[in-house]
């Protein structure tokens, strides 16, 4: 699909009925399940990870070839309230194939049924589960990368921040795709002249209300990673931003703060593109390029 046609279709997409989260999820899941699939040469398995105090469904992408492979932990987007591994399926296929790595996509618990910090802690527990089950998963425990898009980018950043604090494991890389990193800043200050029906003031507030137990939590660095006092000790990072994404400014600021903290940062900015365009790897050349670049970045990190 031509870029101009994609942008037009994106902007004209029917908004999800966020005031009815059950209906919104059904509509989002229907859209995702109908998407044509990118071919994947390896195995894709849906299993259950047992992570006390409960279980978490995960989708595992294992490329062909000789194990052990590098490991990738992936968190999908959806405002903490929508989506599933199906939402980012084509993107995960592409990253796993290009990086020649086992990718574990987390079907984390959604808000408002499960509020902060439940999903973040769940994703952290899955990271520990990967470390503990490295042989069964055919992965290298010392080669774990953390990736997420949109709200999943928020969770990915949060998992890496927690890892620096708790020191249970050390990610070698993080990738933040159109990430939500600042819930404190008023929505109207983010959008400026942008027109995006995914990010109306109402939808922004709805997602925040669903996710947070207390509005004051917006200032918690694990909710708004951009507000963290220190970013030292975080892994090398790739950040993907899009010109027409209201979240681009906070992601760019996060990248600058990482750089100032001595962290290696690769920032890829896509002119004219919209939020989470990278998910559309099957139909959009620029999305395929961005997804493959993530995989290539990771192979370089692994190679040292």
- β-strand pairing of 265-270 with 69-75: unpaired
Q: Is 50 a catalytic residue?
A: no
Domain ranges of the chain: 3-303
d(CA 183, CA 185): 6
d(CA 106, CA 84): 8
H or E stretch covering 190 = helix 187-191
- Catalytically annotated residue among 81, 145, 150, 293: 150
What pLDDT does 266 receive? 97
- Catalytically annotated residue among 88, 275, 276, 293: 275
Joined tokens for residue 57: 């469904």
pLDDT in tens, 207-251: 999 999 999 999 999 999 999 999 999 999 999 999 999 899 999
d(CA 191, CA 189): 6
Q: Is 208 a catalytic residue?
A: no
Q: Indicate the length of the chain as a whole number.
A: 304
- β-strand pairing of 265-270 with 237-242: parallel
Joined tokens for residue 299: 């192979």
Q: Is 245 a catalytic residue?
A: yes
d(CA 266, CA 255): 8
Nearest to 103 by CA among 133, 135, 139: 139
Query: Reduced to 3 states, what is the DSSP secondary structure of residue 95?
Result: helix
- Catalytically annotated residue among 89, 107, 182, 245: 245
What pLDDT does 193 receive? 47
Q: What is the CATH number of domain 3-303?
A: 3.40.50.1820
* Per-position pLDDT tens, the chain of length 304: 788 899 888 888 888 999 999 999 999 999 898 889 999 999 999 999 999 889 999 999 999 998 899 999 999 999 999 999 999 999 999 999 999 999 999 999 999 999 999 999 999 999 999 999 999 999 999 999 999 999 999 999 999 999 999 999 999 999 999 999 999 987 666 655 454 545 566 677 899 999 999 999 999 999 999 999 999 999 999 999 999 998 999 999 999 999 999 999 999 999 999 999 999 999 999 999 999 999 999 999 998 8
CB 137 within 8 A of CB 100: no
Joined tokens for residue 285: 């050349």
pLDDT in tens, 165-191: 999 999 999 999 999 999 998 766 665
Edge-to-edge, what's the strand order for the sheet holding 173-177? 43-51, 54-62, 102-107, 69-75, 139-149, 173-177, 237-242, 265-270
Kindly report the pTM of this predicted structure.
Answer: 0.95
């Amino acid at each position: 699909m031509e870029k101009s046609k994609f942008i037009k279709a994106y902007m004209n997409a029917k908004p999800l009925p966020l005031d009815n989260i059950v209906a919104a999820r059904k509509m989002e899941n229907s859209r995702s399940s109908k998407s044509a699939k990118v071919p994947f040469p390896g195995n894709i398995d849906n299993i259950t990870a047992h992570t006390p105090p409960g279980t978490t469904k995960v989708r595992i992408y294992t490329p062909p070839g000789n194990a052990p492979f590098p490991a990738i932990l992936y968190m999908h987007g959806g405002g903490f309230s929508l989506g599933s591994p199906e939402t980012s399926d084509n993107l995960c296929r592409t990253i796993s194939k290009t990086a020649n790595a086992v990718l574990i996509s987390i079907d984390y618990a959604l808000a408002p049924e499960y509020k902060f910090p439940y999903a973040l802690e769940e994703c952290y527990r899955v990271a520990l589960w990967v470390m503990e089950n490295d042989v069964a998963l055919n992965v290298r425990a010392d080669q774990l990368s953390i990736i997420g898009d949109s709200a999943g980018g928020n969770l990915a950043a949060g998992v890496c921040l927690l890892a620096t604090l708790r020191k249970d494991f050390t990610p070698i890389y993080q990738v933040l795709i159109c990430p939500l990193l600042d819930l404190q800043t008023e929505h109207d200050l983010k959008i400026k002249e942008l027109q995006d029906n995914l990010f109306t003031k109402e939808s922004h507030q709805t997602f925040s209300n669903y996710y947070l137990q207390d509005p004051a939590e917006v200032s918690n660095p694990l909710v708004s990673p951009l507000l963290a006092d220190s970013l030292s000790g975080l892994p090398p990072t790739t950040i993907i931003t899009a010109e027409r994404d209201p979240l681009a400014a906070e992601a760019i600021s996060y990248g600058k703060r990482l750089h100032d903290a001595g962290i290696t940062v690769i920032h890829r900015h896509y002119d004219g593109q919209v939020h989470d365009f990278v998910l559309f790897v099957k139909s959009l050349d620029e999305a395929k390029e961005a997804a493959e670049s993530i995989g290539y970045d990771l192979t370089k990190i692994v190679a040292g």
